Each structure stands twice: as C-alpha cells, then as structure tokens.
Structure 1
Amino acid sequence: MIRLDFYEPAVNRFLHSMTQRMPASHPRYSALADEYGRRASGFRGERSLAYELRYFREDECVMLHGLALELRGMRFQIDTLLLHPKFTAVIEVKNWAGALRIGGAGEMVRDATAHAEARVFPDPVQQAKNQLRLLVDWLEERGVKVRSPETLVVLANSQVTLEPPERIPANVVCRPAMLERLLEWRRRACPAPATITELKAAADLLAEANTPRLPASGFAHDYHISRADISPGVICPNCGALAMNRGRKYWRCRRCCHVCAEAHLSALTDWTRAFGRRITAREARDFLTLSATQQARRLLHRSGAEKIGADRQTHYDLLASEAIRLLL
C-alpha cells in the first residue's frame, strides 16, 4: 500500500509560479527557470518508479514517497521508502542524463560539452547511506525495529551512462533493474519478518512526522526575490494567463473568458510559498489586484484564513486554510 504518494515539492511549485509571475527580461528569470527545470526533472524521475513498484501487492508492503523528517535538528528527505516484512529500503532516485564519470571520492562528474557546463554531483551512494542512518536512528528512538536496512540508487533516465563500468557501485542500478534487486531482497531468508500491521503502524508514525520544507518567511528570501520583482494578480487555471478579474461572485479571465469562483486560492497559495503564511487585507487586495480592501477581507474569510489581532495589527494566517494547505 502507498502511505505517502508522490507529491511535487513546494519549492518546485514556488519556482514555477515565479516563472509565471516574473518577466523573462528580469535578471533572475533564467536562473529560476533553469533550477525549476532541474527540480521538475528530478521529480519526474522519482514518479517514474511507480510502474515497477506496482508489482508489489497492496497487502505486501508499505511505501512512502517524498518523506521529509527531522532528527535532532537535522532535516533529511527520502525519495522513496519501502517497508517490507523482510527489509527496509531507502531508494534514492537520480534523473541524470548524458555521460557521467565516477570520480575518486564517488562523486559523479559531467564534463563540459558544447551545450552544457561541467558539473559535479555528490556521491549518491553516500547520500542514501546518510539518509538510511538517520532513518534507522529516528525509528529506533520511537521503539520501531528496522529489519535488514538497504539502500538503492536508481538511475531513472535511460539516456545516462556511467564510466568506468568497473567502478559502478553494486547498489547503483538503472530503473529496469530496480525491481529485480528488490525481489532479491524479498527472496532472502528472514528469521523474524515484520507483520503488515507493524509496517502500517511504522508508516503512520513516519507520515504524521512528515514535514515538507516551507520556510516561515517563504522561499522568496532564499532566492533573493522581492515583491517588486513579480507581477501581482490571479492566474487563470484554464489558459495560464495572469489575467483574471473579480466580479461579484466569480473570477473571469480576460484572455479566454474562463470563469472560476475559487481562483484566488491558487494566488494566495503562491503568496504563502513566496512570502510566508502571514498577509494583511491590504496586501491581499494588492496581490489579488482587487479594487477594495473589504473585498479582500471577504475572500480571506471565505478561504478559511484565520484573522489575528485587531485594528492596524490585524493580519491573516493563510495556513489556517485547509484549502491552501492542500494546494501547497
């Protein structure tokens, strides 16, 4: 069974919304668009494993995708965690493409070409081992026994090659070979396998502690983006244009004439990712390009944002809105 499904990280969604709201002529646009492309490619690689993982029966194991945890102040993220009665597998997914060579310390090096700069990727095997070590400690602190912990680095892109072949670590495999490796671990003898009930209980603990990264002040500060750098407004869910006007009850797109009652929720989610959970009615009015502050107050109230303070100290907590939390 899948306890945590694939879900695109908030930082990916933040970068995508910034490329929609920032003019292509802006000095930061190219860097943001490039990073979004890399992160989106990585997420597609993670999601591509779904086909092979469907081999396991619903009642056989528990899977958690995109699991983000914290142990003694150290944050760590696992692309896919497979809890099986006979083993626990941390799967690190890389969607690299092109020719890579393995460096002296296990790093992956992509040499410069006519179309791309040289780049060095950290050792993915050590990365997976670090994640596994933290995971085991996290679970054991909560009284959960970890059976046969394993790591696997999966190269999801068929257009990648590693050289020299004799230095490729045993736990680095291409995507088609991933299932066979998992089945090898399943065939091993295990004197005291876990029950599916125990695995579900452990998965519940992990899912409840899952804390995807969202800085208190949003991602904009990390990327040196100010409110003046991006265009306000509500993006049309139909055509993607930053061109929606608010009528009495609905938003209507000036470009495609699409009508939507709740389009402001996506814009308020953009604000939350960029600038954090706090917003004033005036800030909402300006960001949603409304004509009146009272109109912004009504929309904030309907969205489920919590009103905090009084008079000039009044602001709204956007993360109190279940609708916005779901969109993050």
Structure 2
Amino acid sequence: MIEKERRVPEIIMQLQALLRRIPEMEHGREKAASELNKRKAGFMGEQKLDYYLGFLDEKKYRIFHGLRLSNGKQFFQMDTFLLTKRFAMILEVKNWNGTIIFEPEFHQLIRIHNEKEEAFHDPISQAEHQSRQLKKWLSANGFRIYP
C-alpha cells in the first residue's frame, strides 16, 4: 500500500518557473536548464521504479515515496522507503546513461557517457548514511530497529 505518494519535486517546478523567466541568451540559463534536465531524469528513474513496486502485495508492503525525516538538527530524505513486518528497505534511485564504474576506495562513482567522465558521490555510501540516520530516528521515536 502506498502510504506517501510520489510527487514532482519542488526543485523541478522551481527550475521550470525560473527558465520561463530567464531570456534565451541570459548568462546562467544553460546551467539552470542542465540542472533541470538532471533532476527530471532522476525523477523519471523514480517513476520507472514505481512500475515494479506495483507488483508487490499491497497487504504486505507499505511504500513511502520521498520520505523526509528530521533527526533533530537536520533532515534526511529517502527516494523510496519500503516497510514490511520483517524488514525495512531504503531504495536510492539513480537514472544514469553510459558506463558506470564504482570506486569503493574513494567512495565515488564514475560515469562515462559520450566520451566524457563525470564523478558522483557513491550511492551505496549515500544509502548507508540514510540507514544510519533512519536507525537513529527509529530509536529516538520509540520504534524497533528493523533489519
């Protein structure tokens, strides 16, 4: 059962509004358009995941999209959080093209696309950080820690 629906992220709506107001040749427009395209691709990846989540038994799974929780001093956010009676799962969604190389020693990921290399923060480290934050949140709020 979907407990929290997936919504278009606010940053996408903000970037779309910004681009409607920036003249075509204005400095910075290209950077805003590039950021919007990256955010839209990420959101599309999350939407693609929803198709597969639709096969889960609604009686056994609780699904929370874009769950944002406070650990007291700061917030942490999970793309999708799946909860059952037996376990909890954080799904960190990426929607990348090209060749992906994990560099565990440096906690980063390298993407090679159109002969261009780009470095990204390691999504495995990101999910591990979210897991630690979630365990703290569960403990602080009187919930049991799920595997």
Query: Is the pair's TM-score, using the shorter chain for normalization, greater than 0.5?
Result: yes
In the alignment, is the contact (CA less than 8 A) between 2:68 and 2:76 conserved in 1? yes
**TM-score between the two structures when normalised by the length of structure 2:** 0.92
Distance 1:77 1:147 in 2: 18
| Offset at residue 26 of structure 1 (A) | 0.7
* Rg comparison, structure with higher value: 1
- Find the aligned partners of 1:80 and 1:112 in 2 and give their Cα distance: 27
Identity among equivalent pairs (%): 32
Q: Distance in 1 between matches of 2:84 and 2:60?
A: 7
SS of the residue corresponding to residue 16 of structure 2 reads helix
Higher strand proportion (structure 1 or 2): 2
Alpha carbons of structure 1 residues 26 and 90: separation in structure 2 relative to 1, 3 Å: same
Q: What does residue range 1-328 of structure 1 map to in structure 2 within 5 Å? A: 1-103=1-103, 104-111=105-112, 113-114=114-115, 117-148=116-147
Q: Distance in 1 between matches of 2:98 and 2:32?
A: 22
Displacement, 1:58?
A: 1.9
Q: Tell which deviates more after alignment, 7-16 or 105-114.
A: 105-114
Relative CO higher for 1 or 2, CA cutoff 8 Å, sep ≥ 6? 2
Deviating above 3 A after TM superposition, structure 1's stretches of 4 or more consecutive aligned residues are 111-114
| TM-score, length-scaled by structure 1 | 0.43
Give the distance between the partners of 1:17 and 1:88, measured in 2 at CA: 36
Structure 2 SS opposite 1:64: strand
Q: Return the alpha-carbon distance in structure 2 between the equivalents of residues 54 and 90 of structure 1.
A: 16
The 8 Å contact of residues 65 and 79 in structure 2, kept in 1 or not, is answered as: yes
1:85-144: per-residue Cα shift (whole Å, max 9, x none)?
111001100101101222232411124745xx4310111111001001101111111111
Count of residues paired in the alignment: 146
Secondary structure at 1:27 match in 2: coil
Any unmatched runs of 5+ in structure 1?
149-328
Cα distance between partner residues in 1 of 2:130 and 2:27: 36
